[in-house]
Amino acid sequence: METPDIDPALLRTTVPAQARRAINRCNLPPDALASLAFQLGPRALELDGVLPLHRPLFDRLDELENAAERAALFQSYMTAHFLLDDAPALGLSDTARINRSKLDYLRLLRGWLFDSEGREGAILKAWVESRFGLLTGFHRRPLGELDTPAREAFDQEVATGLYTTCALEAQIDLLYAWAQYEFGRRLPGRSHLLLYRGYSGAGALPRVGELADGRVLVQLNNLSSFSADRERADEFGDRVLECRVPTAKVLAFSQLLPGRLQGEDEYLVIGGIAAVRWLS
């Protein structure tokens, strides 16, 4: 944990109470996992009940050394477990008003990569709220407090999106668990990734402090896209920040499913307080 010269009070910096829920569905409370201390010295995050429920999948993954074979097994398991290739089993018929099979975890990720401010982005941000307790601060526009019109419109968009799916949040649960498993297999012992993100406008991120080494403390939205390629990040804003992102805060990444996702070294990063360095 890189904290030798940091004031303990600063380490406890976290998102304000109005930006988080009192409870969540993982092994650390929202204020802890959103803190600067967590970014600098992270620990594994586990969603309630996911690993025990899907233990047979991970036991089979343990037997495979090839990442591509593990990806194929994961996709086959998702299809079978969630009946993704059986629309009638999901309620689709000639008389059904809604096709519940039209949005699954793959379409959700592709939607995010195409436009993180669209319906798919709203669903993923709402999933972070439910599982990690970090509220969405921005979706097309600042959402403000829980009873604002912007927030109500966001909640309605999420509800409408989830209503046309089958167990989509549970699919994302397993996707996150598998991404964490893959980090353990591909990067054993690695706790952080050096990632980049482009921003436009000086006030794009709430600034909450500064470290002695020049890094700035900012409050990230509850879910954001980062890139492993600085030049790629530079295409998305007039300023680029560099951040050591805990692998525990990565929901998914483009190379997790080679050939199925079109993003270039893109990572979906769960938010909170982060120490970043502005590069431009």
State residue 1's pLDDT score: 54
Q: Is the pLDDT of residue 264 over 80?
A: no
Provide mean pLDDT across the span 18-35.
96
User: Quick check: 179 and 253 in contact, CB under 8 A?
Assistant: yes
Percent with pLDDT over 70 in the chain: 90
Kindly state the percentage of the chain with pLDDT values over 90: 73
Instruction: Give pLDDT, residue 163.
Output: 82
Q: What is the mean pLDDT of residues 94-111?
A: 74
Is pLDDT at 169 greater than 90 in this prediction? Answer: yes
Query: Which SS3 state, helix, strand or coil, does residue 117 take?
Result: coil
Q: Cα separation of 101 and 103, whole Å?
A: 6
- Average pLDDT value for residue range 228-252: 92
> In this structure, are residues 151 and 116 in contact, taking their beta carbons and an 8 Å threshold?
no
Which of the residue ranges 63-67, 90-94, 102-106, 255-259 has the most confident prediction, judged by mean pLDDT?
63-67
> Do 32 and 273 form a contact (C-beta atoms < 8 A)?
no
| Residue 100 clears pLDDT 90, i.e. is over it | no
Answer whether residue 88 shows pLDDT above 70. no
What amino acid is encoded at 206 in this protein? P
Rounded to an integer, the average pLDDT of 192-219 is: 89
Mean pLDDT of 158-170: 87
* 25: pLDDT strictly greater than 70: yes
pLDDT band at 191 (very low <50, low <70, confident <90, very high): very high
3-state secondary structure 132-201: HCECCCEECEECCCCCCHHHHHHHHHHHHHHHCCCCHHHHHHHHHHHHHHHHHHHCCCCCEEEEEEEECC
Rounded mean pLDDT of 225-245? 91
- pLDDT, averaged across the chain: 90
Longest CA–CA span in the chain (Å) reads: 66
The 10s digit of each residue's pLDDT in 114-131 is 899 999 999 999 999 999
Confidence of residue 234 (pLDDT cuts 50, 70, 90): confident
3 state DSSP class of 244:
strand
> Could you give the CA distance from residue 25 to residue 60 in angstroms, rounded to a whole number?
26
In this prediction, residues 242-252 reach a mean pLDDT of 98
pLDDT of residue 161: 87
> pTM, whole model, 2 decimals?
0.93
pLDDT of residue 99: 58
Mean pLDDT, residues 44-51: 97
For the cut 80, the answer to whether the pLDDT of residue 257 exceeds it is: yes
The pLDDT value given to residue 96: 55
